[in-house]
Every structure is written in structure tokens, then in C-alpha cells.
Structure 1
Amino acid sequence: MEGIITRRVIPSDNSCLFNAVGYLMDHDKTKAPELRQVIAATVASDPEKYSEAFLGKPNEVYCAWIQDSEKWGGAIELSILADYYEREIAAYDIQTTRCDLYGQEMRYSERVMLVYDGLHYDALVISPFEGAPEDFDQTIFEVPKDRTIGPIEALALNFIKEQQRKRKYTDTANFTLRCGVCQIGVVGQKEAAEHAQATGHVNFQEYR
């Protein structure tokens, strides 16, 4: 296998998960509105599976919520998108170097790879050489019969470990943020969420 693992940066606009998946599956970084609708339709079609206990909010409330471009996606959305595209989605977490695999139980024959830094998702691809245009990216990989990706998985893990060494992640329990609207400082995701809820402000910048 020729090429190097490359992190393709997806814009930070609260839809990075959806646009990263869209890029990996369809080479399209603007699929968030469409994929949010796919998720809402899937959830609405099976209220028994997607119950309030599962979603953390009533089914119809979730369906409206996920279509809001300000809202972030996570594990529930990735598992639905894996089934929608009929491909496994491997999400590598830089801080822990853990890989969460979605769609694994369906034994799909192909896999794509995401990287998560605690706040943001980007796409992981194989590029033929350093600085190669995105047109040459390989984004979809065959899953061998033994359910590993073999050398690609090893390359991805090495890349993630290297990113961890360089501290290319945000420790969401202890990071410091400043509200971009009122300039108040908060510590950790919990305080940021509480401030956002109290004020409606969602524009935070990390600072040290």
C-alpha cells in the first residue's frame, strides 16, 4: 500500500462530524444538512429503538434538535451513518488513542476513518505523498475477512499516537475557554454548556 496517513481538516462550524463523514463517503464537505435529515428520518421511523431513554430526549424533540446546524453529533449519529452508508466508521480519539468502531456488528466490507480531538472531528485519509491534492485521497478501505484493516490500521494508530505526543487534542474536562460574546472565562465542557444554556452564547475560544 502506497501513501501516508493525512488529516484532512473540516471547518469548525458545529457540523464537523457530518461534513467529515460526507467527505470520507462522498468527497463532499457540505453534506451536513442532508445527513442531519437522514438521521432525523431514521430516528423518527423507529421510536421504539430510538426511545427517550436511548436519545436522552423525546424522539420528536431529538429529530428537531439534530437538524439544527448549531448542534454537535456523536456516537448515536455515527452509528446511524455507518448503517446508512453500509460501511464501518472508525473514530480515533487523540487524547486516549482509543478507536471506537461503528457498524462493526453488521460486518460491512468497507471502512472509513475519523480523528477526534476532544471537540472536533476531521477526516483521516491515505494520501499518495505529502501535500498531494485532496482529489487523490483514498478515503474508503476494504475490511479483510479477519475484520482488521491490517497495515492501514497500524498506520492510523501510529499517526494518532504521534498527534497525542504533540498534544493535538483538547482535554474537555479541564480546558479553559473564553466566551466570544461576553469574554467570561469557563473551565471544562460542563461549565461551557452551563454558560451556553444560561446565556444562549455558543461561541467559545480556547485559551491558556
Structure 2
Amino acid sequence: MEGIIVRRVIPSDNSCLFNAVGYVMDHDSKKAPELRQVIAATVSSDPVKYSEAFLGKTNEEYCAWILDSEKWGGAIELSILADYYGREIAAYDIQTTRCDLYGQDRNFSERAMLLYDGLHYDALAMSPAEGAPEEFDQTIFAVSNDRTIGPVESLAQNFVKEQHRLRKFTDTANFTLRCGVCQIGVKGQKEAVEHAQATGHANFQEYN
């Protein structure tokens, strides 16, 4: 199979995880409201599995929280969406170059890939050539008997390593942010979260 791995940038609107999944699964990067509903329905239908201990909040609180378009998704949401689509989701972390695989214990026969930069999810796709239109993207890959996606897997790993070398990630422990509301500077994700909880401000911009 000829082609190159490309990063399809998803808008930064707090729903990037859902829209990146929508892009790789359905070539639709505006699926966040629908996928948030899917997750809330899944969680509310199984309060035993999705307990307060698992979710970090009560089942009811979590369902209300995930439907809020300002809230970000993460590992719990990716594992539910892998099940929903019946495909593995590989999430590559640029900073660590690690790949977290969701749905791998279900023997799904296909996989899609996302890229995570510490704060934001984008979609990974196979394009026939640099600059080719998005409609030519391949985003679903067959999983072979050895549980890899063949040559595409090493292409993806090399792409992630190159993004790491170019420092295309946010070091969330040490980055500096400015609050867009009150202009105060904070360092690292921990301080940003504390500031957001104390003030209700959620609009941060990175600055150096």
C-alpha cells in the first residue's frame, strides 16, 4: 500500500477527542454532540460497570458532565467509543511516543488512529500523497493475525517519533499558560486546573 501518514488537525473546541474519532470512523469531524450522547447512554445503562469508583463521579453526574460541550474526553471515552464502533482505537502520545490501544481485548478486525499532543487530539490518516484532498484519506486499517496493522503501524510510529523530534507536543507538567479571562499566568496542567476550579475560567492560551 502506497501512501504517507498525515495529521488531520481537528479544531480546538474542547470536543477534539470526539471529533477526531468521528473523522477517523465516519469521515465526519462534527460528530461530538452525537458521540457524547452515545457515551452518556452507554454509561447510564450500566451503573455497575460505570460506578463512582470507576468514573471518579457518580454515574448521573458523569452523564451530565460528558454531555457538556466544554468538557474534554479521555481514556474512558475512548474505550467506550472503540466498543461502539467495533474497532480498535490507537491513541499515539507525541510526548512519550507511546501508543495506547483501546478495544484490543475484543479481537476487533479493524483499527483507527488518533494523535495526542498532551492537550489535544487530532486524527491520523493514510494519504496517497502530501497535499492530497481529505476525501482520499484512509482511516480504517485491517488488523492482521499478529494484532498489528502491518506496514502502516511502523509508518505511524515513525510519524509520531518525527512529531516528537519536532516538539509538536505540549509538556503539560511544565508549560506556561495565560488565563484568557484574567490574564494571570500559570505553570503546568495542575495549576491551570486549580485556577479553573477556583475561578470558573476555562479559557487558557499557551505562551512562552
With the shorter chain as reference, the TM-score category is over 0.9
Which residue in 2 is equivalent to 1:8?
A: 8
User: How many angstroms apart in 2 are the aligned matches of 1:131 and 1:204?
Assistant: 31
Residue identity matched to 2:198: A
Which residue in 2 is equivalent to 1:64?
A: 64
Other structure's SS at 1:36 match:
helix
User: How many angstroms apart in 2 are the aligned matches of 1:90 and 1:179?
Assistant: 32
Which residue in 2 is equivalent to 1:82?
A: 82
User: How many angstroms apart in 2 are the aligned matches of 1:151 and 1:203?
Assistant: 40
Other structure's SS at 1:123 match:
strand
Which residue in 1 is equivalent to 2:127?
A: 127
User: How many angstroms apart in 2 are the aligned matches of 1:196 and 1:180?
Assistant: 11
User: What is the CA-CA distance between 1:88 and the residue it aligns to?
Assistant: 0.1
User: What is the CA-CA distance between 1:101 and the residue it aligns to?
Assistant: 0.2
User: What is the CA-CA distance between 1:150 and the residue it aligns to?
Assistant: 1.7
Other structure's SS at 1:115 match:
strand
User: How many angstroms apart in 1 are the aligned matches of 2:178 and 2:62?
Assistant: 28
Which residue in 2 is equivalent to 1:48?
A: 48
> How do 1:15-54 and structure 2 match up within 5 A?
15-54=15-54
Residue identity matched to 2:95: Q
Other structure's SS at 2:19 match:
helix
CA RMSD of aligned residues (A): 0.4
User: How many angstroms apart in 2 are the aligned matches of 1:47 and 1:95?
Assistant: 34
Q: How many residues align?
A: 208
Which residue in 1 is equivalent to 2:204?
A: 204
CA-to-partner distance for each residue in 1:80-130, whole Å, 9 max, x for gaps?
000000000000000000000000000100000000000000000000000
User: What is the CA-CA distance between 1:145 and the residue it aligns to?
Assistant: 1.1
Residue identity matched to 2:151: P
User: What is the CA-CA distance between 1:14 and the residue it aligns to?
Assistant: 0.2
User: How many angstroms apart in 1 are the aligned matches of 2:185 and 2:6?
Assistant: 34
User: What is the CA-CA distance between 1:34 and the residue it aligns to?
Assistant: 0.3
User: What is the CA-CA distance between 1:149 and the residue it aligns to?
Assistant: 1.0
User: How many angstroms apart in 1 are the aligned matches of 2:96 and 2:17?
Assistant: 19
User: How many angstroms apart in 1 are the aligned matches of 2:161 and 2:29?
Assistant: 26
Other structure's SS at 1:197 match:
helix
Tell me the TM-score normalised to structure 1 length.
Answer: 0.99
User: How many angstroms apart in 2 are the aligned matches of 1:37 and 1:149?
Assistant: 30
User: How many angstroms apart in 2 are the aligned matches of 1:167 and 1:24?
Assistant: 24
Which residue in 2 is equivalent to 1:170?
A: 170
Other structure's SS at 1:122 match:
strand
Gaps of 5+ in 2: none
User: What is the CA-CA distance between 1:35 and the residue it aligns to?
Assistant: 0.2
User: What is the CA-CA distance between 1:200 and the residue it aligns to?
Assistant: 1.0
User: How many angstroms apart in 1 are the aligned matches of 2:173 and 2:43?
Assistant: 30
User: What is the CA-CA distance between 1:198 and the residue it aligns to?
Assistant: 1.1
